[in-house]
Amino acid sequence: MSTDQAAANKALFARFHDAMNSGDAEVFAKAVDQLVAPDVLFHSPTPTGTTGAQALKQVWVVLLHAYPDLHVSVEDVIAEGDKVVFRNRVTGTHRGEFRGIAPTGRAVAYDEIFIFRFDGERIVEIWGVVDVLAQLRRLGVLPDGPA
């Protein structure tokens, strides 16, 4: 695949990222409809019990409910062939219920790495690793300890 295609995929990722940081689940859902294949394959579990693009939308609704000021800072982006890899730092304040945890008012910060595979102008596969341990420690659910 050409470097032109890698650059195009990075541009599509940038649009997706902008929608993530809009703070608006509806804006994010519209971006998912435009940029993500309806039957996108996840190679990571989603806590919603749904699949495809609908799972991605629901995950974002849950996150924005728990962390209304959620912000995703991209630390690194690497594009090669049909894939874009990005490393993020996620921050927010726990203001709503999250996975059965009542709001704590605590600030959270955690890291994640995702790989998107594109086919044309759509994301068709997603792999992800989220530092849930750091997130739960920041919420006070687990004691602080070595990383």
pLDDT digits (tens, 9 = 90+) for 12-70: 999 999 999 999 999 999 999 999 999 999 887 776 677 889 999 999 999 999 999 99
Domain 3-138 has CATH 3.40.640.10: no
Structure confidence at residue 93 (pLDDT): 98
Amino acid, res. 108 = V
Tell me the per-residue pLDDT of 108-143, one tens digit each, with 9 for 90 and over: 999 999 999 999 999 999 999 999 999 999 999 988
Residue 9 vs residues 2, 6, 22, 32, 112: alpha-carbon distances, Å: 11, 5, 20, 15, 19
Residue 3 confidence class, pLDDT cut points 50, 70, 90: confident
2 has a pLDDT exceeding 70: no
Give start and end residues of each alpha helix (H) in the chain.
Answer: 3-20, 25-35, 52-66, 132-138
Section 96-114 average pLDDT: 95
Structure confidence at residue 147 (pLDDT): 55
Tell me the per-residue pLDDT of 78-89, one tens digit each, with 9 for 90 and over: 999 999 999 999
* Segment holding 69, helix H or strand E: none
Q: Is the C-alpha dihedral spanning 94, 95, 99, 100 positive or negative?
A: positive
60: its two tokens: 């974002």
With vertex at residue 48, the alpha carbon angle to CA 126 and CA 139, rounded to the nearest 5 degrees, is 95
* DSSP summary character for residue 98: B
Structure confidence at residue 50 (pLDDT): 76
Please state the domain extents for the chain. Answer: 3-138
DSSP helix/strand/coil, 24: coil
